[in-house]
Amino acid sequence: MSETAILGGGCFWCLEAIFKRVKGVKKVTSGYAGCRRPNPTYEQVCTGMTKCAEAIKIEYDPNIIGYEELLRIFFAVHDPTQLNRQGADVGTQYRSVIFPLDERQRQIAQKVIEELNPLYGGNIVTTIEEPGRFYVAESYHQNYYDTHPNQGYCQFVIAPKLQKFQKNFKEYLQ
């Protein structure tokens, strides 16, 4: 049995590296969601004109980890108070967004945002949007951190987020 979650929290390389290490997660795919343009390329997404968000599709076993727990990890490993950016990555394609796939996921997302918002000073800007179709990103974006661990972005941006996750969510490590 498996369920699917689609989340965008800045660069998909960061989220992919983290969620691949979460207990109960079967597969993580980097891609684009919330698009106005069909079959977008990375170059098109980077312009901000497609309205796509860099996102990940998570296939997980709900008997091991629930959607709410995935969202709590999501909020802890990126900054949900930065509008249309994560660190130096700027643009609507890097927005903090949850793409619920049904009404149950939408309600859980709203509940988690309401619960966490006071912890962030009432400044959570994460949106809840219709996913539309999820487009798989180009093959060179898949499993990026694990295949390029010495690349500068991986060392200086992804590795610290991964370390934070490993330190604060030991019970969810595979």
Residues catalogued as catalytic: 11
**Burial classification of residue 47, based on how many CB atoms lie within 10 Å of its CB (0-12 exposed, 13-18 middle, 19 or more buried):** exposed
CA angle 58, 64, 67 (to 5 degrees): 50
Q: How far apart are CA 152 and CA 49, in angstroms?
A: 27
Structure tokens belonging to residue 107: 């309600």
Q: How far apart are CA 132 and CA 45, in angstroms?
A: 15
53 pairs with which residues across the strands? 33
Residue listed under structure tokens 């977008």: 40
The DSSP bridge pattern shows strands 53-60 and 3-9 to be antiparallel
Q: How far apart are CA 98 and CA 172, in angstroms?
A: 20
